Structure 1
Amino acid sequence: MTETEKSQSLLAPLGVPVFRRIWLASLLSNFGILIQGVGAAWSMSRLTDDITMVALVQTALMFPLMLIALPAGAISDMFDRRLVCIGALVVALVGAVGLCAVTAMGLLTPPILLAFCFVVGSGMALFGPAWQASVSEQVPPEALPSAVALAGMSYNVARSFGPAIGGVIVASVGAIGAFAVNAVFYLPMLAVLLLWKRRHEPPRLSPETFWRAMVSGIRFIRYSPSHRIFILRTVVFGLVGGVIPALMPLIARELLSGGAPVYGVLLGAFGLGALLGAVLLPWIRARFSTEIWSRLVAMIVGAMIICVAFSRSEAVTLAALLVAGAAWTSILTLFTISIQVGAPRWVAGRALSIFQATIAGGVALGAWGWGELADQIGVKETLAVAGALMIGSTLVGFVLRLPEMAVAGANEPANREDHTVLLDLTLRSGPIVITVDYDVPLANARAFYEAMQRVRRSRQASGAYGWSLSRDIADPTLWTERFHSPTWNDYLHLSHRVVGAGVDLQDQSRSLLDPTSMPRVRRMLERPAGSVRWKDETPDRGVDIGPSASAGAP
């Protein structure tokens, strides 16, 4: 095996001590949250006969993943991800310990149980983006895809065996035992994060405001065609594939005439398949492109759903769910890898959080829709329709073809000439208007225009607003690019985000310019009517604030 093959093998990241310790600790925390879920559901069933309240336990644990995903991603990008993880775990630990305490004192009621489950779920929702985005800081770049797969694999391992372990604990010592195990299982993760000597990189700039950080994350997805395609394909897959978790209890009860034990076995088969899919991922990545494998998965999962619809044999249904679980996990893990390796570090947490919210939202909405349809036409017929739609979803690939994502550049700004600022600015000064004049030979006009459309998407994904390109009617060789940033701080962030592919796109467009001239950049503080209220004695200060306030060319 070559060194490259070793670095790309599934277990290679476990050779990195810090990743190995954090991964093992995350495995325990995943077991803990699933064990608590069993205890919480059991407690609720003892506290009330309302089926809706029992179902709300899982909602309380999982809904925060969708509700606070984007804010959690923004926080992970704005602050030290290690500290964000520690803070998130403290929140979850407080919820777990509080749940133990009220249970021990006999004060547990349905609303209190749901409230503490929501606190625990919120802590884990805040933890997820920061932990996943920090994986790139723990392993070398060539091992990142395998590390991302292992991060997902830890949850699949816990999902395969955690509920069964939780059932044994609840049967042996009661629900309080499950709550206590969850609280204890957070401690190893807290310990390894406290001991992690993360390399501190002093921030070059003041952080974005919280609201602006969330907007920047949404704009990045909106104006990054590759990431947008992955998000849209995830929505389609989640909406249709949501039929499996939605109807699993009904498959056990109505199609197989079984009870809770059969339901548990079906969940275990799907979870074991998910684990198998993660193990096979390196083999899959070596042989298939993401698009081809996505189409194969759609056909495989669709066929397995149809098989489940018409099967009355427990063995056949288990085998179908095993295969479906493997295919399901393999493609979602491939999507996660693509999102993570393709997102620049400045927005990695937000990109991952939006992706996770898309999965959760797509599956939740799909589950609701399939449940409603099953009430109207029956479980077997609903599964058959879902299977056919899943197979038909392969056609989406002809319209939204998945790209192969390259590793994004580091957060190093383009090495271009800095410009001194001679106007007294604060970080809140704005809007800042940027214009760039280009001299383009007539023969290159069309190629330049097409190249600048790619630059446009890069600018907008990095935070530029109001982008436009104009051509001088008196001098057809003169082209002017214009965009603005809301504040000076926003512009400084934008200029530091021109990395990797963004620099390449700019270089491609500038290779089409008149070789005897250079782009002429102007940065202006926009002054709309009424925005300046000078008193007669107020001077117009033009102050040289030095190189520390300068920014590279856009």
Structure 2
Amino acid sequence: MQREDHQLPISATLAPFRNPVFRTIWTATQISSLGWLVQTVAVSWLMATTSASDLMVAIVQAASTLPVFFLSILAGAIADNFSRRWVMFAGHCLIASASTTLMISVGLGFVSPWFILGLSFLAGCGFALTDPAWHASVGDILDKRDIPAAVTLVSVGYNIVRSIAPALGGVIMAFFGPLAAFALAALSDLIPLSAIWRTKWQVRSSPLPRERMTTAIHDGVRFTAMSLEIRAAIARAALFGVTSIAIFALLPLVVRDQLKCGPIAYGVLLASFGMGAFIAGMSNSYLRRITSQNRLVAFASVACAACCLCLAVTSSIAAAAISLALGGAGWLVTWTGIDLSVQLASPRWVVGRTLSIYYALSAGGMAAGSWIWGSVAQNYSLTWALEGAALALLLVAVAGIVLPVGPREETDQESSGFHPPELAFDLKPRSGPIVAKTEYSIPEENIDAFLGYMRTRRHVQSRAGARNWTLQRNLQTPSLWTETFRTPTWMDFLRLNHRLTSADKEVGDHLLALHDGDVPPQTVLSIQRTTDATYASAEGRRRAYPAAMRT
């Protein structure tokens, strides 16, 4: 997929704001993020002052990211099968409940480290439910041409808030105490609830009934595993998450032990990180025009490595602020690039699930990284932990050679449109297995090209739900080739065909061009039956035999 922003001016970055629904939800989520980040500053500093364990301080990040690892895939299946608007509402209700409980507990003087971690985990569950639905809704709210800009705005918006919230959190902590910070967070969580309640957007509904959750999860995992582009992006995200989280996990220790400063300095440094991310976000369209996405993400990993290395050796708050601005730029460029790559490579029917798998593995990487670098800092030294993270980030940059991020060619991920064939008798949704056979007549000179397209066809059909895909050549008439696959039920066959995109359909067009028969290739559908079944009625006996229908 060639980058659409090659033809877009930098001002196109703000184009999604013309849509009032996107503008309202985006603004509400930034206000909620403001409160969340103020609360995160308060929690991190409260943990640093109430716990003597470096590991406990570092796993504050793990407490909020582990729920994403455990729940995101389920949340993605929910987002693809239910109203994404109401899924977002439910997630924000959970976040508001956790923040309110934390505010009350601090007000009552109960600040147990494990209780704080537990509530951070609960809020993380809310984010795990909300994020896949919100990011998948971007494609429902906006036209495809605005999706790259919208993904950038979502990341930039968060990092604009990141440039304000930490300093604000530090000031609130210093002058008003943690209770005020937690109260602000609890109030800010009410804003997205109001915005989601008031706004509505059109969702492209499926003509088919909802999938069972287990089936939806299985199909989402299968599609992701069989999509090379998405698989590479997610692997890169997990590696970057493990390594780059050292910046956040160890920053409270850098401020406390190396810089010998307090919460205001901590907030200022986080603001520097956010400002670097903001500048990178505003430049993102330009950067994507002058270099490939894969190279851009590699440079971003190098920038984060430089940030870690500087934090490991500096005792100057100014140098730390500059290095964190560089790290913030690398952080935003990486996550925006990977997020965009996953979104544009995913058809609408599965985008919530592919995004949720991406969130789960990147969050799992961050949770593991928080524990790893916290353990290194506690058992060896803070300097060793930061230097190790810097080295690992350089290796992640090199990993771009084997795990490239970014689209390879332009593909249309919209549904190709499918009309169910007329059958000789009624089938129930659970009837099956269904066998589909398509016969082609291929001249000898077209066989190599035919086999190449058939390899693509097998991949396309299998990731959409086809089972036992095979290609056979007729021994009596070598020019005849038969493509065969099965689906467990009739409903699975319908889902498979509704899932095929316009880009997938192009493979069939190429095969049709190679076909040399008098009539186009015909697909014959049969229902598989065993010979030992007993049917009491004539209708039952008739259905025991394969019934062939042409489409």
Output the amino acid matched with 1:159. Answer: R
Matching residue of 1:299:
302
Match in the other structure for 1:455: 457
C-alpha distance in 2 between matches for 1:355 and 1:11 = 26
C-alpha change, 1:513 and 1:542, in structure 2 (3 Å) is same
- Greater mean alpha carbon deviation, residues 226-235 or residues 249-258: 249-258
Match of 1:134 in 2: 137
Query: In the alignment, is the contact (CA less than 8 A) between 2:308 and 2:387 conserved in 1?
Result: yes
Q: Residue in 1 aligned with 2:486? A: 484
Q: Matches of residues 198-209 of structure 1 in structure 2 within 5 Å?
A: 198-199=201-202, 201-209=204-212
Say which is worse superposed, 472-481 or 71-80, in terms of deviation: 472-481
Please tell me whether the aligned partners of residues 66 and 367 of structure 2 are also in contact (alpha carbons under 8 angstroms): no
The separation in 1 between residues aligned to 2:194 and 2:178, in whole angstroms, is 26
How far did residue 307 of structure 1 move?
3.8
CA contact (8 A) 2:58 2:250 kept: no
Distance 1:46 1:394, change over 3 A: closer
- Work out which of the residue numbers 464, 467, 481 in structure 2 matches 1:465: 467
Partner residue of 2:510? 508
- Establish whether residue 350 from structure 1 lines up as the match of residue 353 from structure 2: yes
Matched positions, count? 543
What corresponds to 1:433 in structure 2? 435
After superposition, where does 1:171-320 map in structure 2 within 5 Å?
A: 171=174, 174-199=177-202, 201-253=204-256, 255-256=258-259, 258=261, 261-320=264-323
* Structure 1 stretch displaced more, 45-54 or 405-414: 45-54
Q: Deviations over 1:54-109 (max 9, x none)?
A: 65554433321211111111111111211221222223233334444555667776
Shift of 1:206: 0.7
State the alpha-carbon separation in 2 of the partners of residues 324 and 100 from structure 1: 31
Name the aligned partner's letter for residue 461 of structure 1. R
Q: State the distance in 2 between where 1:158 and 1:172 align.
A: 21
Matches within 5 A, 1:8-47: 9-41=12-44
Q: 2:546 aligns to what? A: none
After superposition, give the CA deviation of every residue in 1:278-308 in whole Å (9 maximum; x if it has no partner). 1221111121111221232233333443344
Counterpart pick for 1:75 among 78, 82, 91 = 78
Q: CA deviation at 1:144?
A: 1.4
SS of match in other structure, 2:349: helix
| Paired residues of 1:256 and 1:313 also in contact (CA < 8 A) | yes
Deviation string, structure 1 residues 208-233 (Cα, Å, up to 9, x no partner): 11111111111111111111121122
- Determine the C-alpha separation between the residues in 1 that align with 2:26 and 2:148: 15
8 Å CA contact 2:439, 2:480 repeated in 1: yes
CA distance in 2, matches of 1:434, 1:177: 64
Letter in 1 for 2:505: V
Q: Is the 8 A contact 2:167 2:268 kept in 1?
A: no
Distance 1:205-1:217 versus aligned 2 partners, 3 A rule: same
1:102 and 1:374 mapped to 2: Cα distance? 30
Which one is further off, 484-493 or 126-135? 484-493
Secondary structure of the corresponding residue to residue 93 of structure 2: helix
Deviates most, 504-513 or 38-47: 38-47
Q: Which whole-Å CA distance do the structure 1 matches of 2:402 and 2:58 have between them?
A: 38
Aligned in 2, Cα 1:538/1:43: closer, same or farther, shift over 3 Å? Answer: farther
Shift of 1:276: 2.0
Q: Report SS of the residue matched to 1:438.
A: strand
Question: In terms of mean alpha carbon deviation, does 190-199 or 211-220 score higher?
Answer: 190-199
Given that 1:291 and 1:402 are in contact with CA atoms closer than 8 Å, whether structure 2 keeps it comes out as yes
Residue range with higher mean Cα deviation, 73-82 or 92-101? 92-101
Kindly tell me: are residues 400 and 111 of structure 1, through their superposed partners in 2, closer, same or farther at Cα, counting changes over 3 Å? closer
Query: 1:110 deviation in Å?
Result: 5.7
Q: Which position in structure 2 is the counterpart of 1:523?
A: 525
1:438-473 alpha-carbon deviations (Å, 9 max, x no partner): 221111112111111111221122222222222223
Q: Structure 1 residues 57, 361: CA separation in 2 closer, same or farther (over 3 Å shift)? A: closer
Match of 2:69 among 49, 61, 66: 66
User: For 1:68, what is the secondary structure of its paired residue?
Assistant: helix
| Alpha-carbon offset, residue 508 of structure 1 | 1.8
**Pairwise CA distance, 1:537:** 4.6
| C-alpha spacing 1:155/1:403, structure 2 compared with 1 (3 Å) | closer
The Cα offsets for residues 468-526 of structure 1, whole Å up to 9 and x where unpaired, read as 22222333222222222222222211110111210112212222221524223122323
CA distance in 2, matches of 1:334, 1:21: 24
Residue identity matched to 2:194: A
Segment of structure 1 superposing worse, 336-345 or 9-18:
9-18
Structure 1 length-normalised TM: 0.87
Secondary structure at 1:11 match in 2: helix
| Map of 1:548 onto structure 2 | none
- Indicate conservation of the 8 Å contact 1:92/1:123, yes or no: yes
State how far apart, in whole Å, the 2-side matches of 1:319 and 1:241 are. Answer: 17
1:185-222: per-residue Cα shift (whole Å, max 9, x none)?
Answer: 23322222222232254530111111111111111111
In structure 1, give the amino acid aligned to 2:147: L
Shift of 1:42: 6.1
Q: CA deviation at 1:539?
A: 3.6
Secondary structure of 1:345's partner? coil
Stretches of structure 2 that go unaligned for 5 or more consecutive residues are 544-548
Instruction: Indicate the larger mover: 103-112 or 449-458.
Output: 103-112
Q: Does 1:496 align with 2:494?
A: no
317-326 or 261-270: which moved more?
261-270
Task: Sort the Cα spacing of 1:346 and 1:109 in 2 relative to 1 into closer, same or farther, 3 A.
Answer: same
Change over 3 Å in CA distance of 1:225–1:76 after alignment to 2 = same
The aligned amino acid for 2:402 is V
Q: Deviations over 1:300-331 (max 9, x none)?
A: 33344334444444323322221122022112
TM-score, normalization by structure 2: 0.87
C-alpha separation in 1, matches of 2:115 and 2:281? 37
User: 1 CA distance for matches of 2:550 and 2:61?
Assistant: 49
Q: How far apart are the structure 1 equivalents of 2:550 and 2:106? A: 59
Task: Tell me if 1:536 matches 2:539.
Answer: no
Letter in 1 for 2:467: Y
Alpha-carbon separation, structure 2, partners of 1:475 and 1:382: 67
Report the alpha carbon displacement of residue 345 of structure 1 after superposing the two structures with TM: 0.8
Question: After superposition, what is the alpha-carbon deviation per residue over 1:320-365, rounded to whole angstroms, capped at 9, x for unaligned?
Answer: 2211220221122111112112211111111111112222122332
Q: Which runs of 5+ in 1 are unaligned?
A: 544-550
Distance 1:90 1:306, change over 3 A: closer
82-91 or 195-204: bigger deviation? 195-204
Mapped partners of 2:224, 2:231: distance in 1: 5
Distance 1:498 1:425, change over 3 A: same
The residue matched to 2:415 in structure 1 has which SS? coil
Match of 2:156 in 1: 153
Counterpart in 2 of 1:475? 477
Please say if residues 58 and 374 of structure 2, whose CA atoms lie closer than 8 Å, have aligned partners that are also in contact. Answer: no
Shift of 1:28: 0.5
Taking the TM superposition and a 5 Å limit, the aligned residue runs for 1:359-378 are 359-374=362-377, 378=381
* Partners of 1:361 and 1:207 in 2: CA distance: 29
SS at match of 2:455: helix
Distance 1:343 1:536 in 2: 47
State the alpha-carbon separation in 2 of the partners of residues 190 and 257 from structure 1. 40
Letter in 2 for 1:452: M
